[in-house]
Amino acid sequence: MTENQRPVGLLFDIGGVCVVSPFQAILDYEVSQNIPPGWVNFSISRTKPNGSWHKLERGDIPMDAEFFAGFNTDLCNPTLWKQFHEQLHQKKGLSGNAPIPPLPTVDAEWLFWEMMRVSRTPDPYMLPALKKLRASGKYLIGALSNTVKFPEGHPYNNDASGVRSQFDFFISSAHTGLRKPDPKIYEVAIQEMNTLAKQRGLAKVQPSDIVFLDDIGENLKAGKNAGLRTVKVTLGRIQDAVMELEKITGLDLLEGGDKARL
């Protein structure tokens, strides 16, 4: 399929695409605590693949006190703090002898739940677009998200926002044991698209028949390597991604008032 042909399937990340990004909660926390912006994401990234966050998102460990203790340790790692500042100094052109401030204290458990709380809010541009895409009946619509398993009975297990119900299938990292950007999870997504296509009497779906939306570069790169077409969603500019979806699908997806403001 060429880039300008209408896709068969649409595949959405959740956080930062369909709901408010947990990255916003991280940034707000860093600013409020006088922590250099980027530190939390840096430490999470540098502890993969076996940091507490990554284990939780693969469903390897439960969400319990041991997880929160491990997550706190990951966010208070002096070696990573030194590496983070060396990188900052290099970007600013400072000498290697520039002083490194004291390692900040991070309340990892509070931050985690704030990230979860914020990401319960549907994006005001994407949710209406999802509803219109679903109502059109023209696309196979799936979700591919790095997620966590909440304890049994926790209210966050409920789809209060109605986002999850917009998808024909939902691939969760914590339930598959795979997390983006592992190539295997994209294979699972393509298989799910084909299972759904077969159920609906459609031809086999090729990877290039699928458009994948995500807000993280390495996830998009892995999707592209899997043969998917990709759309980058930028923090604070989700309406741009919706406009790109309008071009791809030929549907009017932005609300009238939203278009007037853009």
pLDDT digits (tens, 9 = 90+) for 112-135: 999 999 999 999 999 999 999 999
DSSP state of 176: H
What are residue 213's DSSP bridge partners?
12, 231
- Could you tell me the pLDDT band of residue 260, with boundaries at 50, 70 and 90? very low
pLDDT at 3 (0 to 100): 61
Query: Could you identify the residue written with the tokens 């983070």?
Result: 84
Per-residue pLDDT of 27-45, as tens digits, reads 999 999 999 999 999 999 9
pLDDT at 40 (0 to 100): 97
The rounded mean pLDDT for the chain is 94
Stretch 8-13: mean pLDDT, rounded?
Answer: 98
Inform me whether the pLDDT recorded for 262 exceeds 60.
no
Inform me whether the pLDDT recorded for 245 exceeds 70.
yes
Which region among 20-24, 81-85, 91-95, 141-145 has the lowest average model confidence (pLDDT)?
91-95
pLDDT at 98 (0 to 100): 75
Helix (H, G, I), strand (E, B) or coil at 68: helix
Q: Pairing mode, if any, of strands 210-214 and 9-12?
A: parallel
pLDDT at 77 (0 to 100): 96
Angle at 88 between CA 34 and CA 39, to 5 degrees: 45
What architecture is domain 9-20+122-261? 3-Layer(aba) Sandwich (3.40)
